[in-house]
Chain A
Amino acid sequence: MTADADHLVRPAERRLPAWPTIDKSLWLPIAVVLGLIAFFSFATDSFATMRNFTAVSGQAGALLIVCLGGTFVILMGSIDLSVGAIVLFVAAASVQILNNTAIGGAVFFAAAGIGAALGLINGLIYAFGRIPSFVATLGTLSIFSGLALQILQGRAIQFDLPGFEEIAIGQLIPRLPNIALCALVAWAAVVFVARRTRFGRYMYLIGGGETVARTAGVPVRRYKVYAFTLAGLLTGVGAILMVARLGAAGPSIGQELLLNSLAAIVVGGTSLAGGVGGPHRTLIGVLIIAIIDNGLNLMGVTQYSQMIVKGAVVIAAVLVSRERIFSAVVK
């Protein structure tokens, strides 16, 4: 409160870079990553090994791809609760396509297309139905899951395309699984989109002041649809890489993704209120969540306790970010 009053009296004193670069609010998540690495290195013998590095980067890769699209959605001030359901649906559909057609490796593009179509549905319902995004995607969460479970008939289905798993677990760069490499390439592309394109700028503007943007003639609804479609597309890509990595699609795929992706985005420093943060930060958020997951596993902490820890991390991240980020966001 006092900080706010302060800048009213002394305008133009504190300056911001035109683009959010490495500033104070980015140091905190980085410090957390380093702290976690140090902690788990001491607490377990197996954490600081190359084998574990490969494992962590494989887990983090899938999460990162899924989070990249979600970051735009959150940056825009909306939320996509159906991310896990999209993964489940795309995984189920892809396995069936693989097993029943001669599509082969091109299933990768089919998966991306199905994801984009599901995202488009989310976006259309949200933007043109004028339904809050959390309600719209809560509905599609149930619809997509239900459809996917019908496709799978409630059981896991393996695919029979020898060598397909290489796109995820192969190592073009030694020790770095391809899934993580894909994720890093996608991350770089998305960061470029956020910083250097009209689409990226509009995401920040809509999140920072939707009414202001609309009043100035920005086609807000169209860009909302674009954002959800892009989120669906990237989620579809993430889903097919997960399927390749696991060798199958089962009813539980994508189950933890909603919490994990939301946690990673928020922990990275993108504000749930919109307009602040960006995909460049999400990389760090994903690292934090993946390291916590991996480290707790190695320490033998049960799955249930891990859920408790992650829930607390999300809440803590929002609490902390309220102090860090600009508080007078016009929403």
Chain B
Amino acid sequence: MSDRTALQRPSPVFEAQALSKSYGPNRVLDDVGFVVPRNKVVTFVGENGAGKSTLFNILSGVAAPDSGVMRLHGATYAPTDYGAAASLGVSRVFQEQSLILNVPVYENLLLGQDARFARAGQFLDRKAMIAVAEAIVEEAGVDVDVRRRTGDYDFSKRQSIEIARACLAGLHLGLVTQPFVLLDEPTSALDRRDEEAFFRLVARIKTRGSLLFVSHRLTEVLALSDLIYVLKDGRLVAELEPANTTESELHGLMVGRERAADFYYERRQRVIAKGAEPVLSAVGLYQPGAFEPIDLVVRKGEVVGIGGLLDSGKSALGKAVAGVDPPAAGEVALNGGSAGAPDIGRFVRQGLGYVPAERLAEGMIASASVAWNVSLASGGDLFSNALGLWRRGREVETTERYVRSLAIRSAAANVRASRLSGGNQQKAVLARWLCRNPSVLVLDNPTRGVDAGAKEEIYRLIRELAETGVGVLLITDELLELIGLSNRILILQRGRLVAEVPAPADAKPTEREIVALMLPQSDRPDLPTGAASPSTSSPARETIP
């Protein structure tokens, strides 16, 4: 490129202008514009919910932007689905694998291209398919036999096969001359050897096309990328060249919001003594594939936050603690009682409440009334008598009490829950537990999909509950909420508890510190705090071996 003059400079491979996208009231992408130059590796970084996945969905035709323009090789680009995007030379490696396990590798590599190998109408020229597939894996440096069943290979190899397909299938079939490949967290599933092969493949593809990454692994991002874009809350906040930046600067750019202490009622946060009475203590909780053995304690009046990336296993941990998805091993004791395998039915009777993250699928019955949703967990005691007769009067009276005290704007107990806004629905779910005077609450993203007003009310409620001695286990993707509400923060990385950070009202950790702990450190999983995290005047941090 350097030998061309400015006038002859080729148009960028891809260009986006003013892309915006909202889901309901949430604006997930806001006026995002960027270019992907020819023969470059471009990476998007940002914390959970910054809009990276939505951006990839738009680029690969899975979602349509509300507004904005895209150009591919200079031509207007508006794919209606992934197939349309693929036919224009845009390929994507999805985070969840999309290979068919019970067919040979070569069929996966050439998926959807059967017509090209049809001979005499219906018969497939398998020899030709295998030859092309072998050329693909060889160029990709993936050590597999394309005739073997895909499912015979482990996750790492399958990820490599998928990457090879995305990068090379179009080239080898002569469908594409300049591939544009989207890779979502491509290396997270790769073992060391496949990772090295991947790096070599990236270098090769770069000579012919361009690649767009999304990754949390900043060390790797800095090593691989030619250009880095930082997304924060759906906006593009920085464009950097790796040579001129550091991991630490990226952390700062990814977060760096003002935390209004009042919003989280931090002044009302109390100091919890180390020896305070535990309301929940878990020992050796273990769920294969989700998290490794974890011990944790929530004390009376304490808010314990759990933070981590989407793959950290924190939601699974919440479900295991509450006994909604009982763990493979481990015991939990409530209120100093005897420890036992978690079981939601028994725990509810013992004073635990669980608010799931997926409100529509797990949190509330949309077809039932507000009253039915409030009484849902108490059918076995509060709202039925010894004969099993339902106490409708008490049900309506209790619901109306919470409709007033939590300001649930639904006018009446008998309104269908589906007609409430997200914030009011969430308050109804909370009322389900409040009416039982719980001693422990496990809250998974309690303010997801909730407007700012209801958010503040929920924060105040959590603070008030803690003041009355309720122990809260708060699992959340919102960093500010995690820091602002918690007395103590536990950080999970890929199912491992890697750090415990005290967060007293007068010495809250910064977002930057927390993010540095959450992100994996490439090749150095044994050093969770890493060299990159700024260990400034922050509160003492205990790292867990």
Contacts and interface: CB of A to CB of B under 8 A. Distances in A.
Contacts of A329: 366-367
A328 B419 contact: no
Interface in A179-224: 196-202, 204-205, 208-209, 211-219
B392 interface: yes
Contacts of A285: none
Nearest to B363: A212
A95 to B, nearest CB: 35
A11 interface: yes
B414 interface: yes
B364 A212 contact: yes
Contact of A197 (B348, B361, B388, B413): B388
B418 A326 contact: yes
Nearest to A197: B388
A7 interface: yes
A330 B359 CA distance: 11
A201 B424 contact: no
Interface stretch (B132-140, B369-377, B508-516): B369-377
Interface string A1-38: 00000010011111111100000000000000000000
A275 B324 contact: no
Nearest to A276: B367
B365 interface: yes
Interface of A is mostly: loop
Contacts of A213: 365, 376
Contact of B392 (A16, A18, A217): A18
Contact of B421 (A11, A13, A200, A214): A11
Contacts of A197: 384, 388-390
B379 A198 contact: yes
A217 B347 CA distance: 8
Contacts of A13: 419
B344 A209 contact: no
Nearest to B359: A212
Contacts of B416: 14, 16, 326
A18 B390 contact: no
B43 to A, nearest CB: 37
B367 A11 contact: no
Interface centre among A11, A218, A326 (most CB of B within 10 A): A11
Interface residues of A, number: 36
Interface in A299-331: 326, 328-330
Contact of B367 (A198, A211, A330): A330
B367 A328 contact: yes
B418 A17 contact: no
A202 B378 CA distance: 11
Interface in B448-494: none
B76 to A, nearest CB: 30
Given A15-B415, A16-B415, A276-B367, A212 B420 contact: no
Contacts of B411: 12, 15
A214 B349 CA distance: 14
A275 B390 CA distance: 18
Contacts of B193: none
Contacts of A199: 388
Contacts of A276: 367
A172 B360 CA distance: 52
A192 to B, nearest CB: 9
Interface size class of B (residues with CB under 8 A): 35 or more
B345 A15 contact: no
B301 interface: no
Nearest to B419: A11
Nearest to B395: A18
Given A12-B409, A17-B414, A196-B389, A202 B379 contact: yes
A270 B368 CA distance: 15
Contact of B365 (A15, A200, A208): A208
A12 B367 contact: no
Interface in A253-278: 275-276
Contacts of B379: 198, 201-202, 205, 218
B380 interface: yes
A319 B361 CA distance: 25
A312 B463 CA distance: 59
Nearest to B385: A198
A246 B5 CA distance: 99
Contacts of A17: 414
B362 interface: yes
Contact of A198 (B384, B415, B418, B420): B384
A84 B360 CA distance: 37
A12 B370 CA distance: 11
Contact of A209 (B345, B364, B414, B420): B364
Interface string B325-350: 00000000000000000001101110
Contacts of B409: 11-12
Contacts of B349: 217
A330 B369 contact: no
Given A17-B414, A197-B384, A197-B389, A212 B371 contact: no
A182 B420 CA distance: 43
Given A11-B419, A18-B414, A326-B418, A275 B365 contact: yes
A219 B345 contact: yes
B392 A218 contact: no
Interface string B81-96: 0000000000000000
A79 B414 CA distance: 28
Contact of A205 (B360, B368, B392): B368
Contacts of A204: 368, 372
A17 B424 CA distance: 19
Interface of A: 7, 10-18, 196-202, 204-205, 208-209, 211-219, 275-276, 326, 328-330
17 contacts: A12-B410, A15-B411, A15-B414, A197-B390, A204-B368, A208-B367, A209-B364, A212-B365, A213-B365, A215-B324, A216-B432, A217-B344, A218-B377, A218-B380, A328-B366, A330-B361, A330-B365
Given A198-B384, A217-B344, A326-B418, 11 more contacts: A7-B418, A11-B424, A12-B420, A205-B372, A208-B367, A212-B361, A212-B376, A215-B344, A215-B363, A275-B368, A328-B418
